[in-house]
Structure 1
Amino acid sequence: MRSSAAPSVAARLAIAVVTEPERAQIAAGGPPPGVREEALRVLLQTAADAGCAMVATRPEGDNERLLGQAWPFPTPFAVTARTVPLSQGLDRVEARARRSLERLGLPRGETLLVSNPSDLAGAEGRALWDRLNALKDRGLFRKIGVCATVEDGPALLARRFQPDVIQIPCNILDQRAAEDGVLDALAALGVEIHVAAPFVSGLLFMAGDALPPEFQPYAAALSRVRRRLAEARIDPMQAALAYALNLPGVAAVVASVASAAELRAMLAAAHAPRPDLDWGTLALPQAADLSRALHGTGLTPMDDVRRISSAA
């Protein structure tokens, strides 16, 4: 008889493993490149032992190849891949999705996500979606979906393309997807919701002097949020994960991690009691502007620049 128990906290954390040498070395205490692969194996084994069920990947750099060499065997993870830009051509998008599985060392993936929803809006959008559906029909991916923001009209995308999954940012600074009914609309359409950017690409942990120039206009507002959390004696990571994990209808929360130590800190924060906070007071009035600024820099949930050691 199938259990009706809700998934564990760890099972709902989708880890986006950072494999870039700079951050991985810093997060793991500065290992030389020769032991980076071992650090990655330790990270993935730690995730498996903790019950983490999903790993989110991307096609850039060596991310997929390094993961493919470091999985526990047999891998317990459902793996999410992403498409390359449609500007490279339909054939290239399909071939690269297949190549992602090869590099990951997997016969099939859990979900293939369109990285940029604007690819679906153009003349070849329907043809792109048909290619992804064909990969799903062949059993190479169990689900297909889209990475979107509030500005992309995710509910309209869901009605038009009927994706299995939509990944969308929603966090304590930018709560629009929850407050404006976007998450409710997606859930009503039967879409599996993955919430991204719980740490706002690292901004939640940065003091004013550490903020990049393009984010200096938000320094005062970010400082107020950190002060409110400090007054409530709540760690920012704990608050960020509590907010995201308790959003109704959310199946997974995607957060980046670069070392086993980071993952252990994240899991401890996720399992802490939910803080009694007035979440609405933490939202930035300039959330839409902040979202556009983040999009302009190219930062994504998989590029969180926070350092968990400094946030603990």
Structure 2
Amino acid sequence: MFLEKVIIGTVQFGLNYGIANTLGKINYTRGSEIIRLAEKHNISTLDTAIAYGDSEILLGQIGIDNWKVISKLPPLETNLESKVLEGKIYSLIQSSLRNLNIKKLYGILLHSPEDLLSKNGSQIYKTLIDLKNNKLVEKIGISIYDPNCLDLYLEHFDLDIVQAPFNILDRRIKEQGYLDKLKNKNIEFHCRSIFLQGLLLMNRSELLAKFNKWEYVWDKMENFASNNGISNLDICTAFIKQNTDVDRVIIGVDSKIHLDEIIASCNKDINTVPEIEIENDRLELLNPSNWNNL
């Protein structure tokens, strides 16, 4: 069942995040409603990060004993002496476990995987392996933005999880053959940004003028949705469902109502999605960190 692949993204549990987020940071009540509804639909994994404000603390207060939790280490001080760096990583993990009120993490990812390529990269990797051996984490991995960097890591490190953007517009990781590479190495692929921070779900009237340069994209999605009697949400979820090499999909939600809509969409049987070619300026659109410069 597809919903078993779903991971609840929790950046909004700790930060006011997302271009389409009108409700702001999630509070205890809304967070509890989301977690309890997800449980009813056999969704049992959470994605969080130390950098997500107080999301780990809020999740610990809500109670997630029976959940698998993936967290991420922030950028590390790679110039530290090796043993000090090791101690810092252990301290961060133990703090996360206390905040989350759980005994171990399903996964720990590096938010800045380039730390592995620093002079202390081998020490960082060794510490991650030690965390596995000591049963504080089950799996280790990296969170990336650009799939072009993947070969650097796959060649030198044994990873369990790779998290990267993948959506109806951003198909780079598949187009460049990395989904096959990950599958061949038995590495879980967790896709994120399937709604592109909610941009792909917004009505044309809600879009800021700076996104008008991609009018052909919004036209194609709007026409396809209208002609097929579906929504942009349905297009986005159907695209992921049709890509069976996706092991898990991270979906950020801001309310119980929002999660209900996503669950209903995931349960629909939709066989086609539009082919949308992005022009050479694609990275301006696909990487939200570029949006402030549009």
TM-score band (shorter)?
0.7 to 0.9
> 2:36 is matched with which residue?
45
Identify the match of residue 285 of structure 1 among 260, 279, 282: 279
In the alignment, the residues of structure 1 paired with residue 150 and residue 173 of structure 2 have an alpha-carbon distance, to the nearest angstrom, of 10
> 2:69 is matched with which residue?
79
Unaligned ranges ≥5, structure 1: 1-7, 299-312
**SS across alignment from 2:115:** helix
Contact kept? 2:3, 2:41, Cα under 8 Å: yes
Deviation readout 1:225-266 (Å, 9 max, x if unpaired): 333332222211111111113313221001101221111111
Evaluate the alpha carbon distance shift between residue 216 and residue 123 of structure 1 in structure 2; reply closer, same or farther with a 3 A threshold.
farther
Give the partner amino acid of 2:71: A
Whether 1:230 and 2:230 are equivalent positions in the alignment is no
Which has the higher mean CA deviation after the structures are superposed, 152-161 or 286-295? 286-295
In the alignment, the residues of structure 2 paired with residue 291 and residue 159 of structure 1 have an alpha-carbon distance, to the nearest angstrom, of 30
Matches within 5 A, 1:209-224: 210-211=206-207, 215-224=211-220
Whether 1:245 and 2:237 are equivalent positions in the alignment is no
Contact kept? 1:28, 1:261, Cα under 8 Å: no
Identify the match of residue 169 of structure 2 among 160, 164, 173: 173
Evaluate the alpha carbon distance shift between residue 120 and residue 287 of structure 1 in structure 2; reply closer, same or farther with a 3 A threshold.
farther
Which has the higher mean CA deviation after the structures are superposed, 106-115 or 158-167? 158-167
Identify the match of residue 150 of structure 1 among 146, 150, 161: 146
Give the partner amino acid of 1:245: K
Q: Percent identity?
A: 22
| 1:223 Cα offset (Å) | 3.5
Unaligned ranges ≥5, structure 2: none
Calculate the TM-score normalised by the size of structure 1. 0.81
> 1:10 is matched with which residue?
3
Deviation readout 1:116-155 (Å, 9 max, x if unpaired): 2222222222221111111111100000000113344224
| 1:162 Cα offset (Å) | 1.2
**SS across alignment from 1:110:** strand
In the alignment, the residues of structure 1 paired with residue 121 and residue 236 of structure 2 have an alpha-carbon distance, to the nearest angstrom, of 34
In the alignment, the residues of structure 2 paired with residue 114 and residue 229 of structure 1 have an alpha-carbon distance, to the nearest angstrom, of 37
Give the partner amino acid of 1:79: V
Whether 1:294 and 2:284 are equivalent positions in the alignment is no
> 1:302 is matched with which residue?
none
Identify the match of residue 157 of structure 2 among 157, 161, 169: 161
Evaluate the alpha carbon distance shift between residue 84 and residue 150 of structure 1 in structure 2; reply closer, same or farther with a 3 A threshold.
closer
Contact kept? 1:107, 1:140, Cα under 8 Å: yes
In the alignment, the residues of structure 2 paired with residue 183 and residue 162 of structure 1 have an alpha-carbon distance, to the nearest angstrom, of 16
Evaluate the alpha carbon distance shift between residue 287 and residue 47 of structure 1 in structure 2; reply closer, same or farther with a 3 A threshold.
farther
In the alignment, the residues of structure 2 paired with residue 140 and residue 290 of structure 1 have an alpha-carbon distance, to the nearest angstrom, of 39
